[in-house]
Amino acid sequence: MNRDPGRQLDVPRLQRRLAEFAAARNWQPYHTPKNLVAALSVEASELVEIFQWLTPEESADVMADPGTAHRVRDEVADVLAYLLQLCEVLGVDPLAALDAKIDRNELRFPVAGERPFPAPDGESDNASGGE
């Protein structure tokens, strides 16, 4: 089935399509969190396999080769499909989870020289303690 180029892609629509695909094949009983996370791990490993023995330079150019680029896109799609299905089964909003995680990381890992809160008395604002 070809995608209508004017159709907007969004997470809930993709999750519905995945659920409909699974339902049409009676796969829902197998789509438990345990099975979905295992499948996600397998697909992520297949993506890793593409890059496994490449140099950093080769990995940066991986999309230049049409055959390899096709494999990368397919594995990325498989990883995302299982992740979205897992989120659906668990009731996790993946975009909200990511947004919240970025917020936490911004607090945990401030930009060098910045703190999310004032430095305690007597402590330098420089993370290394000196200037």
Least confident of 13-17, 76-80, 124-128: 124-128
The token duo for 125 is 């604002």
* H or E element at residue 106: helix 94-108
Q: Tell whether pTM > 0.85.
A: no
| Cα–Cα distance, 43 to 79 (Å, whole number) | 5
- Residue identified by tokens 């897992």 is 86
The full DSSP string for 2-47 is: PPPTTSPP-HHHHHHHHHHHHHHTT-GGG--HHHHHHHHHHHHHHH
Q: Is the pLDDT reported for residue 128 higher than 70?
A: no
CA 49 to chain CA centroid, Å, is: 17
pLDDT in tens, 29-56: 999 999 999 999 999 999 999 999 999 9
